[in-house]
Structure 1
Amino acid sequence: MYKTKIKNPILRGFNPDPNIIRVDDTYYLVVSSFEWLPGVRAYQSNDLVNWTHATDILTNQVNLQGNPLNCSIWAPQLSYSNGKFYLIYTDVKSTARPFKDSHNYLITATDITGPWSEPIYLNSSGFDPSLFHDVDGRKWLLNEIWDYRMTTGNKSAGIVLQEYKEEQEELIGPVYKIFDGTDLAKTEAPHIYLHEGYYYLITAEGGTGTGHTVTVCRSKSITGPYELDKRPLLTASDKPDSPLQCSGHGSLVETPKGKWYMAYLCTRPMNGAAILGRETAIQEVVWKDQWLRLETGGDGPASETIIETNEPIVQHFQTDFHDDFSGELLTEWNALRIMPDSSWCSTQVNPGYLRITSGESIQSLFDNHILAIRQKDFSFEAQTRVKFEPQTFNQMSGLTLFLNNQNYMYCYITWDETQGKVIRFLSSVDGEYELSEEMIPIKEDWITLKVVVSGPVGKFYYREDEKHPWQQVGMPQDMSTLAGGFTGNFVGIGTHDMDRKSGCFSEFDYFIYKGLDK
């Protein structure tokens, strides 16, 4: 065996709430997708070191249109039993206090790439559902339970357990309250593992911010009572100098050689802002005195860790992306609350180019026609070449940095009544928009737009053809405005029309993203 040193996080950019399993010699890891579709990104690896994008599981099974900010698909959990994958996920429809409308569903497939079954509705009592397959063949659903009667802002009231009857496709029997949580509160993300006669309940507590912590309980009976390990398994709450912060939401996997590892989420703040969102890290855990401990002996996240491998392996991070639209859209693309399909984004209408038919405004929660990829590097360049012939000021198309409908930057082509076709710049910070007064007249059919991000600063550029130098659009932008919330920043292209919704279209020649992190 070889000991391979790797750097965390293993999945960079927006990859929160990781859940990891092993099927034979292949590891699978799924993450939350929130309002981006296709949903539930799944990665695979044969060594826990290098990961590839295997598929996105949720396609037409969900309707996210109109879902509020930071809602939609939370904390998926993947499991495998008797030749079948089981995916549990939450579709959150509202988080307005005091209630939380969170609906839990189950889908199954014999292959990670599908086809997946139609969703089976389970319950709505709380989020972060998890399915445990017991050795006696019974299946149990766990989830956080939300109690609107609590006077605290976060009303997570612990973890509940109920049997799931697969033949009937429904939950049966009593609901067991198996964990009330600790004083850290905000108890969520339950997973159960059976090891040497104990059922181990792993939860996330303290919220998904700086207080995030992994706690562990154990019981001889799955329904409890559970004994709390008073020592946290993982936290950065008391480690302000750690390069990995907000660490928590852990899940376990055992290798064929009997090693155990925990995947968990983390952030890498830059000047206090987690621009890349919540990412996925991994560390070895060991069993000691019938409790779980980090292999390092402490309880802190590690920016570097050791993975035991069968052969020498070099860790690689491939963040570059290039789509020349010569065929089907590459699978890296996501869209907001709607599937990226030929009804509005097609490479077939004019082969070799991507046509995006306009949708509602860039702030829409329904038909916002943006295609985007995750920002995976603190520093990067992205550019696209676009042809667009707007007829009114309400028609626009261009390049965007997009955290959510309240925080974005948009460099776009539009129309002005006095100057004709122009380039403009619009930004929004926490819902407060600012439209730059600058208007740049353009005459060419095709315009190239570019954004260059160097850590905390982003700059937008344009040029009409390769004979002309790049010209900056607007002022340098503060990238920290694209940090926060539950997601991470995306880099994308889009077309919008507030006159006739789908009254215009644009064509894109290519899209290139190049990571510049060392």
Structure 2
Amino acid sequence: MENITNPILPGFNPDPSILRVGDNYYIATSTFEWFPGVQIHHSRDLVNWQLLPAALTRKAQIDMVGNIDSGGVWAPCLSYDDGVFYLIYTDVKSRKGAFKDAHNYLVTATDIEGPWSDPLYLNSSGFDPSLFHDSDGTKWLLNMIWDFRKGKASFAGIALQEYSPERRQLVGKVYNIFKGTDLGITEAPHIYKRNGYYYLMTAEGGTWYTHAVTMARASSLTGPYEVDPTNPILTSDQLDQQKLQKSGHGSLVETQDGQWYMAHLCARPIIDKKCILGRETALQKCYWTDDGWLRVEGGPFPQAQVDSPKIPISPVHHENDYDDFSGTDLKRYWNSLRQPFSETWISLSDRPGHLRLKGRESMQSTHHQSLLARRLTTLHLVVETAVDFEPDTFQQMSGLILYYDTADYVYLRISHDERLGKCIGIIESTHGQYNEPLESDIHIPGGLTYLRAEIENSHVQFFVSTHDTAWTKVGTSLDISHLSDDDADYIRFTGAFVGICAQDLSGQAKAADFAYFNYQPAQ
């Protein structure tokens, strides 16, 4: 029997919602401004996880063009009833200041791999929605309530309202069923029914190092809810930064043989409490006490190694980390910013055996970037690509990028200089401050240009090669610790990505053709 090794979903995979249907387990996670929306992973043993097609793949389902950084898809909830999968999610349009424009939607599918329906709008009273299917057939939407008023607690409780599948809308009274514990910042509600009790699991303490999972219960769905006397049932040991941190936002699943597990988000600090990989997903084994409360085995702190259930091990297939762009469809691990993949800016067919990116807006744009990236899942790796790109002006750029958001990225880019001609250099943005770390760009010849990034913990070293020449360093090792949730002076929620991109600020849509992309984690 293999152990479960945490995190089970490394890299940016926060806010897990776990579900079992028969012998199959699914986890849905937040994707924020990255497209497609809502990653879904599948397992048959809770040890090995495979990425399935994402749920939100069309602009009709999620239109994020213009969404703020760390907006977009927050905290999806995956559930199942009578042959139908239900997915609830929030599209956050604004989040800074007093107000949060957070719209909650429902999509459904009869197959976990889709197609998923067009969205049904539910409400905008707060984020972290979930859908509870009661044993009497009724369905109930929960979400935290956001209160913008001065002098009020922003996290104002947990709303509960019935959802009518027949009328396809929320109906009846809105109940505020739980105001939270002294930890505060009460969010991420999930309800589970067991032995005559309704159990309300919430996240509290903020999605930071004080993050936690708390539990309350009631004999009636609308309450009153009794708080677990030993809360929090899960949190992190802040005195040991080598262990999983930021643990919270839990979701429960019961195995076929009656064992219980909690999926929760966590993070791994690299340096100075900076988690470059973002918030990840872990699993903890749980049990119920004789007096009917849930406990985490070995808790309340999360474990890196957890006993797996007594289920046969079921290996999964993972897509090759070397992509030669020879297929007709992109591999599932690829993502774009805020928008679907479209022939207007990306193509596998314009030049067979290559991926073509047509240059559009800058790395600062929240609208129409031509950027293709995948999550960093480790900080011990080498990334390589090769690009055929012949710019005519400094306004045309293409290359290899490490990207957090519009304010923080490090970019090895090819461009054009009036004196040098085709050249290579580095662009760095730290907290929105633009910089060019090299004293001057470096001339490179025409034709295919090979680009390489060697990432080790909180630093990256870039390299370039042309015409099969040896790798040459470009600049010195750069600090990438600012590519993290923790480095900015405001709250943000995503993780670091690595990928390829093209910009053409002249409006000519200059194309860059990439021959391959190789993501090589250290062995």
Q: TM-score, normalised by structure 2?
A: 0.95
Look up the equivalent residue of 2:276 and give its one-letter code: I
The answer to whether the aligner puts 1:49 opposite 2:47 as a matched pair is yes
Name the counterpart of 2:504: 497
Q: Alpha-carbon deviations, 1:137-180, whole Å to 9, x = none? A: 0000000000111537x711111100000110110100001000
SS of the aligned residue for 2:47 comes to coil
Name the counterpart of 2:393: 392
- The whole-number CA distance in structure 2 between the counterparts of 1:506 and 1:204 is 44
Name the counterpart of 2:31: 33
Name the counterpart of 1:92: 92
By how many angstroms is 1:343 displaced?
A: 2.0
Contact 1:239 1:300 in 2 (8 A): no
Name the counterpart of 1:515: 521
Look up the equivalent residue of 2:385 and give its one-letter code: T
Name the counterpart of 1:304: 305
Name the counterpart of 1:337: 338
By how many angstroms is 1:493 displaced?
A: 0.2
Look up the equivalent residue of 1:187 and give its one-letter code: T
SS of the aligned residue for 1:376 comes to coil
- The whole-number CA distance in structure 1 between the counterparts of 2:337 and 2:313 is 40
Look up the equivalent residue of 1:86 and give its one-letter code: Y
Q: Alpha-carbon deviations, 1:173-219, whole Å to 9, x = none? A: 00001000112111100000001110000000000001101000000
Look up the equivalent residue of 2:304 and give its one-letter code: S
Look up the equivalent residue of 2:506 and give its one-letter code: D
Q: Alpha-carbon deviations, 1:455-484, whole Å to 9, x = none? A: 121111100022x11111122111211111
Counterparts in 2 of 1:447 and 1:237: CA distance versus 1, 3 Å: same
Contact 1:213 1:237 in 2 (8 A): no
- The whole-number CA distance in structure 2 between the counterparts of 1:333 and 1:357 is 17
Name the counterpart of 1:275: 276
Give ranges in structure 1 of 5+ residues lacking alignment.
none
Q: Alpha-carbon deviations, 1:109-149, whole Å to 9, x = none? A: 00011111110000000000000000000000000000111
Name the counterpart of 2:201: 202
- The whole-number CA distance in structure 2 between the counterparts of 1:86 and 1:387 is 44
Name the counterpart of 1:293: 295
Look up the equivalent residue of 1:415 and give its one-letter code: H
The answer to whether the aligner puts 1:439 opposite 2:441 as a matched pair is yes
Name the counterpart of 1:374: 375
How many residues align? The count is: 510
Name the counterpart of 2:18: 20
- The whole-number CA distance in structure 2 between the counterparts of 1:331 and 1:30 is 15
Question: What RMSD, in angstroms, separates the aligned Cα atoms of the two structures?
Answer: 1.5
SS of the aligned residue for 2:52 comes to strand
Contact 2:381 2:454 in 1 (8 A): yes
Look up the equivalent residue of 1:311 and give its one-letter code: P
- The whole-number CA distance in structure 1 between the counterparts of 2:475 and 2:146 is 45
Which is further off, 304-313 or 445-454?
304-313
Look up the equivalent residue of 1:50 and give its one-letter code: N
Name the counterpart of 1:347: 348
Look up the equivalent residue of 2:184 and give its one-letter code: A
Q: Alpha-carbon deviations, 1:369-418, whole Å to 9, x = none? A: 10000000111111110011111100000000001110000111100001
- The whole-number CA distance in structure 1 between the counterparts of 2:509 and 2:456 is 36
- The whole-number CA distance in structure 1 between the counterparts of 2:332 and 2:312 is 30
- The whole-number CA distance in structure 1 between the counterparts of 2:432 and 2:334 is 25
Look up the equivalent residue of 1:26 and give its one-letter code: N
- The whole-number CA distance in structure 2 between the counterparts of 1:172 and 1:237 is 42
Contact 1:320 1:514 in 2 (8 A): no
Q: Alpha-carbon deviations, 1:11-46, whole Å to 9, x = none? A: 000000000000110000000000000010000000
- The whole-number CA distance in structure 2 between the counterparts of 1:444 and 1:470 is 17
- The whole-number CA distance in structure 2 between the counterparts of 1:308 and 1:96 is 42
- The whole-number CA distance in structure 2 between the counterparts of 1:256 and 1:469 is 55
Which is further off, 82-91 or 432-441?
432-441
By how many angstroms is 1:84 displaced?
A: 0.2
Counterparts in 2 of 1:407 and 1:241: CA distance versus 1, 3 Å: closer
The answer to whether the aligner puts 1:453 opposite 2:451 as a matched pair is no
By how many angstroms is 1:437 displaced?
A: 2.9
Which is further off, 433-442 or 305-314?
305-314
SS of the aligned residue for 1:264 comes to strand
By how many angstroms is 1:320 displaced?
A: 6.2
Look up the equivalent residue of 1:394 and give its one-letter code: Q
By how many angstroms is 1:454 displaced?
A: 1.1
- The whole-number CA distance in structure 1 between the counterparts of 2:96 and 2:294 is 36
Look up the equivalent residue of 1:295 and give its one-letter code: E
- The whole-number CA distance in structure 2 between the counterparts of 1:237 and 1:469 is 46
- The whole-number CA distance in structure 1 between the counterparts of 2:319 and 2:237 is 29
Contact 2:36 2:56 in 1 (8 A): yes
SS of the aligned residue for 2:53 comes to strand
Name the counterpart of 1:119: 119
By how many angstroms is 1:309 displaced?
A: 2.9
Which is further off, 478-487 or 204-213?
478-487
- The whole-number CA distance in structure 2 between the counterparts of 1:193 and 1:139 is 12
By how many angstroms is 1:427 displaced?
A: 0.4
Percent of aligned positions that are identical: 49
By how many angstroms is 1:444 displaced?
A: 2.9
SS of the aligned residue for 2:166 comes to coil
- The whole-number CA distance in structure 1 between the counterparts of 2:255 and 2:5 is 19
Look up the equivalent residue of 2:450 and give its one-letter code: T
By how many angstroms is 1:312 displaced?
A: 5.6
By how many angstroms is 1:240 displaced?
A: 3.4
SS of the aligned residue for 2:125 comes to coil
Name the counterpart of 2:265: 265
User: 1:109-508 maps to which residues of 2 (within 5 A)?
Assistant: 109-151=109-151, 155-231=154-230, 232-236=232-236, 238-241=238-241, 243-271=243-271, 272-288=273-289, 289-296=291-298, 298-311=299-312, 321-327=321-327, 328-435=329-436, 436-466=438-468, 468-484=469-485, 485-500=492-507, 502-508=508-514
- The whole-number CA distance in structure 1 between the counterparts of 2:27 and 2:255 is 14
Give ranges in structure 2 of 5+ residues lacking alignment.
486-491
Which stretches of structure 1, 4 residues or longer, exceed 6 Å deviation after superposition? 316-320
By how many angstroms is 1:318 displaced?
A: 6.3
Contact 2:393 2:415 in 1 (8 A): yes
SS of the aligned residue for 2:183 comes to coil
Look up the equivalent residue of 2:357 and give its one-letter code: I
Contact 1:236 1:242 in 2 (8 A): no
